[in-house]
Amino acid sequence: MTGREKPVGIRLNERQLSDLELLRVGGYVPLDGFMTRSDYRSVVTEMHLASGKPWAMPITLAVDSELASAISEGDLVALLDGASGRTVGQLQIHEKFSYDKGHEARQVYRTTDHKHPGVAALYAQGDTLLGGPVTHEDPVALQDFTAFRRTPAELKGEFAQREWRTVVGFQTRNPVHRAHEYIQKAALEIVDGLLLHPLVGETKDDDVPADVRMRCYRVLLDNYFPRDRTMLAVLPAAMRYAGPREAIFHAQVRRNYGCTHFIVGRDHAGVGDYYGPYDAQHIFSEFDAGELGITPLFFEHAFWCNTCGGMATTKTCPHDASVRVFLSGTKVRELLRTNASLPAEFTRPEVACELMAAYQKS
Amino acid sequence: MTGREKPVGIRLNERQLSDLELLRVGGYVPLDGFMTRSDYRSVVTEMHLASGKPWAMPITLAVDSELASAISEGDLVALLDGASGRTVGQLQIHEKFSYDKGHEARQVYRTTDHKHPGVAALYAQGDTLLGGPVTHEDPVALQDFTAFRRTPAELKGEFAQREWRTVVGFQTRNPVHRAHEYIQKAALEIVDGLLLHPLVGETKDDDVPADVRMRCYRVLLDNYFPRDRTMLAVLPAAMRYAGPREAIFHAQVRRNYGCTHFIVGRDHAGVGDYYGPYDAQHIFSEFDAGELGITPLFFEHAFWCNTCGGMATTKTCPHDASVRVFLSGTKVRELLRTNASLPAEFTRPEVACELMAAYQKS
């Protein structure tokens, strides 16, 4: 990219840095930068880029009016790490445009409620979007979890080396309890390998912190999964909590990381009661077969059933709720706070131990 | 079919009656009769019909030399129930031809060992094959398990009524132990419905009789499967014990019955040590993607694992054999004979109870 660099720079927040990092590594293919007007509008309304390719989440760079007025279309602008001020990339400004936050909220989040964390972030951001291709320093952001960072190219290489022709990706921003393990293993039974791919970008304050989760994932994999069938790597994305739209987004990003299958469970990427429990599965039917380049695997609510004597879902267990062991997130946090043990039917003891240690410290 | 019917008739044995019944109901589409020379040779050597369509098992009508000499190409010959002498159909003789049993045995069964039950049946049958289209009475054979007989058209109708767009078929000639239940449920997690489709035609003498198995299937489904996700119907086919070839055959027949997916476990349709444990999975790679019209789902050896605290396979459990609960068929029969209980980790108590009752009676 050539062009005159303006002295002005854009300080990126954590979420924007995540997007730049994903653009850098190829996690957002076919995107090569922040969306211009036609892509943005088409994605918000149609879940497709202007080119017709599917894409469900706006990837935008919003700035406030003051900064916007100092930038013109055609400028080459530095992108700065908001915390350190370090230059992490450049944006070639192709377009500077206003947008309708209410419209985006309704279309993408299905609500304009400011209590929704994704909507709140949308309303809090600047009123002008800057669109155009980016270049980037390497690396973009602080590299935490370095041992588990893998670019799409690196992961694809490792899958090939392991001779995994089919790989199922599992997105999570939570500790992996037995319900998730069950779903992961049910999926693994029909593919060659499992990529446990936790999101470690920005999440809600009351989500379990990524470092605690990473310890949980490691003890779980070490004790309950065959090494030659599982990989753990981190996804440097921020959560949007956009439910159905984000399920499509998560699937396509995992396709870029080399997955052939993607698990979509109950209330994927949801928050509160904004989405029906299976809306994030139904939305896949709005795309043509093969269009997304990855096969979604849908799972219902999973639990331990005392009568089955094993894990199951509402699809495979005929027994009633009274014999099923399942705890809400609220109940889990309450047990952890009061130092009560989590039942082994719900959480592996090794994982419970890590969670309890983290809760006792905090 | 018109043409002069010869006074001579062909008495069909149990296996041949099964084939005629499957031709009648549409279980063998695209076949419309017993194979003529070009189809037979192409199937034996290439696993494809002369038309190029995939088909893995010869479907032939063998007669001895004496009967063969009384029949000419062009004849319309009655097909009789071998036991009752009742006319069950007619065969329009298009071709009368000799064949190489050793070649068929090597190609189809991968052995010429007479101890192999499929090979033994092949060597015991007549030296001349009669090929041509059939007509049939309705019904062909004695209708046992009438409550569970469903033609392909009937099953497809029921699947449609239940709005099952994807259905996984499970072939079995054995009682369903927890290992099979686990595989069935793992598959069911990713499709809409499960067809438990036991084969009730001729099997080896030491296989568990079909009536005992049917009682086992019913108590299992009644107690451990959701009714709205499972159907039980019988397949009136005979076992060939051809391992890999028969797995392809079983899959294609289930496609005809409306299944979209088909489970292929360890040593599918095998007997003794004639086939490698996963040969029946590997053979699917010899067909083009989509060619068979049904998606195979492959599963490894399944068992209860004490350390996992649940069912698993060698693909999803990292623990060693000492913590796994698995019994050989020989061990199961020994326990049943001595009236010892089967472990609940291996067989559901309701199923064990049916098996024990049958063994005590015999």
Catalogue all structural domains in chain A, each as residue range(s) with its CATH number. 10-136 (3.10.400.10), 146-361 (3.40.50.620)
Interchain contact B219–A (C-beta under 8 A) = no
> Who among A225, A315, A344 is closest to B188 (CB)?
A315
DSSP H or E run through A16: helix A14-25
Interchain contact B94–A (C-beta under 8 A) = no
Catalytic pick from B24, B110, B173, B266?
B173
pTM recorded for the entire structure: 0.94
> Who among B223, B229, B297 is closest to A190 (CB)?
B297
DSSP H or E run through A184: helix A178-188
List the 322-361 stretch of A: residues with Cβ below 8 A of B: 344-345
Structure tokens belonging to residue A250: 């998560």
- Residue A140 to residue A147: CA distance in whole angstroms: 17
CB proximity list for B34: less than 8 A, separation 6 or greater: B19, B59, B60, B61, B91, B129, B130, B131, B132, B134
Chain A nearest CA to B192, separation (Å): 9
What pLDDT is recorded for position A92?
Answer: 97
- Based on its alpha-carbon atoms, the radius of gyration of chain A, rounded to whole angstroms, reads 21
What pLDDT is recorded for position B51?
Answer: 98
Query: How many beta-carbon pairs below 8 A join chains A and B?
Result: 74
Structure tokens belonging to residue B62: 């063998």
Chain B nearest CA to A298, separation (Å): 6
For residues A98-129, b (16+ Cβ closer than 10 Å) or e, as one string? ebebeebbebbbbbeeeebbbbebbeebbebb
DSSP H or E run through A252: helix A244-256
Phi/psi for A231 (5° steps) reads -130, 145
Interchain contact A80–B (C-beta under 8 A) = no
Q: Which one is predicted more confidently, A3 or B287?
A: B287
Q: Is B214 helix (H, G, I), strand (E, B) or coil?
A: helix
Chain B residues with beta carbon closer than 8 angstroms to that of A185: 186, 312, 316
CB proximity list for B27: less than 8 A, separation 6 or greater: B21, B151, B152, B235, B236, B237, B253, B256, B257
Interchain contact B311–A (C-beta under 8 A) = yes
CB B196 within 8 A of CB B187: no
Interchain contact A305–B (C-beta under 8 A) = no
HSE-up (13 A, CA, CB side) for residue A335: 15
Structure tokens belonging to residue A231: 């990989």
Q: Which one is predicted more confidently, B117 or B339?
A: B117
pLDDT digits (tens, 9 = 90+) for B14-70: 999 999 999 999 999 999 999 999 999 999 999 999 999 999 999 999 999 999 999
Of A256, A250, A257, the C-alpha closest to A296 is: A250
> Who among A226, A299, A314 is closest to B318 (CB)?
A226
Interchain contact A316–B (C-beta under 8 A) = yes
- Based on its alpha-carbon atoms, the radius of gyration of chain B, rounded to whole angstroms, reads 21
Catalytic pick from B106, B149, B162, B174?
B174
Q: Are strands B5-12 and B33-34 parallel, antiparallel or unpaired?
A: unpaired
Indicate the DSSP class of residue B249.
H
For residues A25-38, b (16+ Cβ closer than 10 Å) or e, as one string? bbbbeebebbbbbe
CB B313 within 8 A of CB B300: yes
Mean pLDDT of B323-351: 91
* Alpha helices (runs of H) in B91-243, residue ranges in sequence order: 101-104, 117-124, 152-161, 178-188, 210-224
Chain A residues with beta carbon closer than 8 angstroms to that of B261: none
CB A324 within 8 A of CB A305: yes
What pLDDT is recorded for position A146?
Answer: 87
Q: Taking CA A342 as the corner, what is the angle to CA A340 and CA A348, rounded to the nearest 5 degrees?
A: 140
Which pLDDT band, with edges at 50, 70 and 90, does B140 fall under?
low
Structure tokens belonging to residue A74: 């055609």
Q: Is B192 helix (H, G, I), strand (E, B) or coil?
A: coil
- Residue B47 to residue B247: CA distance in whole angstroms: 12
Q: Is the peptide bond before B30 cis (omega within 30 degrees of 0)?
A: yes
B189·A188 Cβ contact <8 A:
no
Q: Is the pLDDT of residue B330 over 80?
A: yes
What pLDDT is recorded for position B6?
Answer: 61
Chain B residues with beta carbon closer than 8 angstroms to that of A226: 314-318
pLDDT digits (tens, 9 = 90+) for B159-197: 999 999 999 999 999 999 999 999 999 999 999 999 999
Phi/psi for A85 (5° steps) reads 80, 0
- Residue B221 to residue B351: CA distance in whole angstroms: 10
B188·A311 Cβ contact <8 A:
no
> Who among A309, A314, A316 is closest to B185 (CB)?
A316
Return the residue in B222, B224, B282 with the most chain A beta carbons within 10 A, the one to mutate for interface testing: B224
Structure tokens belonging to residue A48: 């497709």
Q: Taking CA A51 as the corner, what is the angle to CA A57 and CA A24, rounded to the nearest 5 degrees?
A: 55
> Who among A190, A226, A229 is closest to B190 (CB)?
A190
For tokens 């409306």, the residue is B258
pLDDT tens string for chain A (362 positions)?
445 556 689 999 999 999 999 999 999 999 999 999 999 999 999 999 999 999 999 999 999 999 999 999 999 999 999 999 999 999 999 999 999 999 999 999 999 999 999 999 999 999 999 999 999 877 666 568 989 999 999 999 999 999 999 999 999 999 999 999 999 999 999 999 999 999 999 998 888 999 999 999 999 999 999 999 999 999 999 999 999 999 999 999 999 999 999 999 999 999 999 999 999 999 999 999 899 999 999 999 999 999 999 999 999 999 999 999 999 888 998 898 888 889 999 999 999 999 999 988 76
- Nearest residue in chain B measured CA to CA from A230: B316
B298·A227 Cβ contact <8 A:
no
Indicate if B339 belongs to the active site: no
Of A321, A296, A341, A270, the C-alpha closest to A110 is: A270
Q: Is B81 helix (H, G, I), strand (E, B) or coil?
A: strand
Residue B247 corresponds to which amino acid? A
Return the residue in A183, A224, A225, A351 with the most chain B beta carbons within 10 A, the one to mutate for interface testing: A224
**Residues forming a β-bridge with B202:** none
For tokens 């398990």, the residue is B145
In this structure, the dihedral spanned by the alpha carbons of residues B20, B23, B24 and B26, taken in order and rounded to 10 degrees, is 160
Burial of A169 (0-12, 13-18, 19+ CB in 10 A): buried
B316·A187 Cβ contact <8 A:
no
- Nearest residue in chain B measured CA to CA from A181: B316
Of B277, B200, B270, the C-alpha closest to B237 is: B200
- Residue A1 to residue A91: CA distance in whole angstroms: 9
Chain B nearest CA to A200, separation (Å): 25
Enumerate the active-site residues of A: 173-174
- Nearest residue in chain A measured CA to CA from B228: A315
What pLDDT is recorded for position A337?
Answer: 86
> Who among A298, A310, A315 is closest to B310 (CB)?
A310
Sheet holding B230-232, edge to edge: B230-232, B193-198, B167-172, B261-264, B295-298
CB A266 within 8 A of CB A300: yes
For tokens 């440097």, the residue is A236
